[in-house]
Amino acid sequence: MPSDSGQIENPKSITDVVGPIDDRLADAIRSELQLWERVDSSLADPFISLEELVFSGGKRLRPAFFYWAHVGAGGNPNSSQAIDVAAAIEMLHAFALAHDDVMDRSEARRGEPSIWQRFANLHEEHDWIGNSLHFGEAVAILVGDLAHVLADKLMSHSSPIVSQLWEELRLEVNIGQYLDVLSGAKGKFDHRSARKILEYKTGRYSVQRPLQLGAAVAGKYDELSKPLTDFGQPVGVVFQLRDDILGVFGNTEKTGKPTGDDLREGKPTPLMAEAFAQASEQQRSILSKIGTNDLSQRDISDIQEVVEETGAKSVIEQEIEELTDSALETLSSINLEKNASEALSELAHFVAYRTY
């Protein structure tokens, strides 16, 4: 059953609307769990791990953007179709997280062992045959795939335009992830690559597509697609820029991930591209340690210091402020229900200035 899906810091624009969405998520997972548990009791574990991931404290930003765009376009907030689509968006996010942690070798997610780590531990505890890491990764991939299938089931009664947007969203998140993996392997920290990854891996998937889906489910896609995209594009950029800063400077207790995890993974972000572009030769030698799994706390502190000294952090903070202001100005000109417009404004502020 769902626990509190949001943390206490979540704004009302999220906390006031997630109840029915969480109920639908819980029902979708639990019904499959009960079905497959009757086939074999061991089949409950993948669904339990998925349920724990979904209800481990996610912000529910993506379904919130969908919900308020849907309401703003005049849609029925209590319609079963809208709730299904909102739940599908969050379920697809669970798919991405399960796979992302395998790719990044992240041992923790939201303060708890990631799925691959959980099953690797299970393998070791039972002294099963084979490699525990390989087992954990294999199960995490399968759990992610289960989440993808459940998301598609929730979308099964969608109209053609909603189905088309859903297909584009799914393609974009996978293409963005490939660009991220590729750039990490090449060790490239240039602005062009970082911006392309930002747009496809996060910007469209987290903000633009949920907004468009909201308008489409309400039957107002043609009328509202462009203005909502004009609002959502800068907010999507801001979402990832703030994530990048938190990945380097964030508090572990709030983010649920070890400080400096992004540095160990060598994520090619606009923040790091700016730091490399402005760094001296001596500073570059410090930044060159990024992507090393055994970074010490001293190494992380040194890299953080360089990011500050080069002005990279200040540049990104300034961009966040300017993009947020621009997005809010665009939002004020869109013909939406007043309460929805206010909620979307609150969400944009939260995305820009959150601490987790």
pTM of whole model > 0.85? yes
31, part of any domain: yes
142, part of any domain: yes
What are the pLDDT digits (tens) for 116-159? 999 999 999 999 999 999 999 999 999 999 999 999 999 999 99
Please give the average per-residue pLDDT across 250-279, as a whole number.
81
User: Is 90 exceeded by the pLDDT of residue 50?
Assistant: yes
4, part of any domain: no
174, part of any domain: yes
**Domain of residue 178, residue span:** 12-353
Tokens describing residue 355 = 């601490």
Please give the average per-residue pLDDT across 152-176, as a whole number.
95
Tokens describing residue 46 = 């993948």
Those residues whose C-beta lies under 8 Å from the C-beta of residue 12, and which sit 6 or more positions away, are 343, 346
2, part of any domain: no
Q: How confident is the model at residue 346 (pLDDT cuts 50, 70, 90)?
A: very high
User: Is 60 exceeded by the pLDDT of residue 269?
Assistant: yes
| Number of domains making up the chain | 1
212, part of any domain: yes
Those residues whose C-beta lies under 8 Å from the C-beta of residue 132, and which sit 6 or more positions away, are 120, 121, 123, 124
User: Is 80 exceeded by the pLDDT of residue 261?
Assistant: no
- Classify residue 167 by its DSSP letter: H
**Exposure of 320 in the CB half-sphere (CA atoms within 13 A):** 23
- CATH number where 269 lies: 1.10.600.10
Q: How confident is the model at residue 181 (pLDDT cuts 50, 70, 90)?
A: confident
Distance CA(312)–CA(32), nearest Å, equals 47
Three-class SS state of 101: helix
User: Is 60 exceeded by the pLDDT of residue 79?
Assistant: yes
Give the other-Cβ count within 10 Å of 334's Cβ: 18
- Which range of 3-17, 98-112, 155-169, 247-261 scores highest in mean pLDDT? It is 155-169
The pLDDT score that the predictor gives to residue 279 is 94
Three-class SS state of 108: strand
The pLDDT score that the predictor gives to residue 256 is 63
Those residues whose C-beta lies under 8 Å from the C-beta of residue 83, and which sit 6 or more positions away, are 20, 21, 24
